[in-house]
Each structure stands twice: as structure tokens, then as C-alpha cells.
Amino acid sequence: MEPERIRRLLEDVASGEVSPEAAYESLSRLPFGETAGGAARVDHHRELRTGFPEVVFCEGKTPQQVRSIARELLDHGDVVLGTRASAAQFQVVAQIALDARYFEEARILLVDRRKEKPAEGHVIVASGGTADHSVAEEAAITAEVMGNRVTRLYDVGVAGIHRVLANEELLRSARAVVAVAGMEGALPAVIAGIVACPVIAVPTSVGYGASFGGVAALLTMLNSCPGGIGVVNIDNGFGGAALATRINRGVPLPPVAC
């Protein structure tokens, strides 16, 4: 929304012609900003609507495109979170943001200039094995940046099920569990059988040939017997963290018109 339109909207609120609720709704749907060259339209009010700014999926974008998007986001906010980022993309963003950080294993690019960083509730990110760490770290870092208190519980796969059961009390303390696993993908079902909170299952592409790049784990998770499991796409640690964040916050449902 252009500055002049924002000014008029605020004047209408001050005069009583527009309610604060209606103004908030108007602002939550607008605006977006266009990057130099028109490569992307950045949603600057996503945080108003969803509680967190727009996240950049870096894979498939050139370093220059990622830099332009990061610059646009930083011109209007304090956080840039980029997933599936390469070292080359990080390097060009670091040219315009000296405080940029790169998490190589998780392939996350981050600029976070907030003075206070929330750490609310409790989300556990559990992984089956060491080979799942990159996806688990994408989930854990994303969840932390999104304002959750996060506990990592790694290498607790069902090949040694006592490792899961030894952490039953910890798992029960979470508001949501993100369970990351490859191979046959049984970990989320085991966890869902011992906790009351929702479990977000994240299949990974880890496994031998018949795992079909994570399809076997995905199908296992979709066919899990315990209730309370939601499944995201293969290797989508970000998606698991985003869903866990909404669960952890306990976002109220919008009012129903009648």
C-alpha cells in the first residue's frame, strides 16, 4: 500500500469513518513490493496475517535474485529467512547485510535484527538418524527463528527404540513434535503413540533404492496407525516447523459469520 493511501487510511480511522478492525484487515492484505528488475513481488504484510514475515525459497533463484529479495525484505523489516540456500547466495546477501549468517548443514540463510527474539511454548524436533540431520536442522532453526522454544532430540530412530522410550517424559512436555525420518519412516508413529500433542511427520529422502527417494517413508507416515499425525512433503523441514509453530502458538480460529 502506497504511503499516501496509508495516510488516508489512518486519517479515516482517526475520524471514525473506518474502524481499527477494518483498517487492520485492509493492511493485512496489502501491500507487496517489487524487487529491482521485477524478478519478485515481496509480500510485506505477511507477518500481519500469519505472524511471520515472508520466507525465501532460494533454490532455483540466482544469487542476484536472492540478494534483491533480501534487500527488499530488510528495507521493510528485521528478518530474512532463506531456505535451500547455497553458499554463493549467502555470499552476495552478506555484501548487503554484514550480519547475515549461513547454516551450511541446514542450507539456511538468516538475517535476524530483532532486539528481542521470542522463545515461546515448546517444540521438539526429533530425528531418526544422523543422515536426517540436515532436514531436522532446517526444521529446528526455522522453528527457533519463528519464535518457538526448541529442543533437539536427534538419532532416536526405531532401530534402537529404547532411545525414544528413554525420552518419553521429554516428548510429553512438548506442544508439538516434528519427527524427521527416512528409511521406512516409522518414527512419527512411535512418538504419536506415547504423546498427547500433535506430531508433524517429515519424511526424508534417506534410504536404499526401494525407499524411492523418500516415497516409502512418506507412504508409511500417511498410513500411520496412531491418530494425531500430520505429514508434510519429503525433506520439507521448513514446512514441518511452520506447522508446529502454528500449533505451538495456539492460533485462535477466526470468528464465524452467522
pLDDT in tens, 50-99: 778 788 999 999 999 999 889 888 887 789 999 999 999 999 999 999 99
Q: Is residue 24 part of a domain?
A: no
Phi/psi at 91 (nearest 5 deg)? Answer: -60, -40
Does 154 share its domain with 202? Answer: yes
Q: Is residue 255 part of a domain?
A: no
Q: Is residue 25 part of a domain?
A: no
Does 200 share its domain with 227? Answer: yes
Q: What's the alpha-carbon Rg for the chain, to the nearest Å? A: 20
Sheet holding 101-103, edge to edge: 56-57, 79-83, 108-112, 101-103
Q: Is residue 134 part of a domain?
A: yes
Last residue of a domain, one of 112, 142, 159: 112
Does 217 share its domain with 161? Answer: yes
pLDDT in tens, 227-255: 899 999 999 999 999 999 999 988 554 55
Does 89 share its domain with 138? Answer: no
Cβ neighbourhood burial of 98 (10 Å; 0-12, 13-18, 19+): exposed
Does 102 share its domain with 163? Answer: no
Q: Is residue 258 part of a domain?
A: no
Q: Is residue 238 part of a domain?
A: yes
Sheet holding 199-203, edge to edge: 148-153, 120-127, 176-181, 199-203, 229-231
Mean pLDDT of 101-121: 93
Does 209 share its domain with 148? Answer: yes
Q: Is residue 15 part of a domain?
A: no
Q: Are strands 120-127 and 148-153 parallel, antiparallel or unpaired?
A: parallel
- Note whether 19 and 26 are within 8 A (CB): no
pLDDT in tens, 27-64: 665 666 555 565 666 676 677 677 787 889 999 999 99
Does 140 share its domain with 228? Answer: yes
Last residue of a domain, one of 112, 144, 169: 112
Does 91 share its domain with 63? Answer: yes
Look up the domain containing 170 and give its range: 120-249
Does 88 share its domain with 202? Answer: no
Q: Is residue 70 part of a domain?
A: yes
Mean pLDDT of 128-154: 95
Structural domain total, the chain: 2
DSSP labels for 225-251? SSSSEEE--TT-HHHHHHHHHHHHHTP
Does 141 share its domain with 241? Answer: yes
Does 93 share its domain with 166? Answer: no
Does 108 share its domain with 127? Answer: no
pLDDT of the residue at 6: 67
Last residue of a domain, one of 73, 95, 112: 112
CATH of residue 141's domain is: 3.40.50.1970
pLDDT in tens, 180-192: 999 999 999 999 9
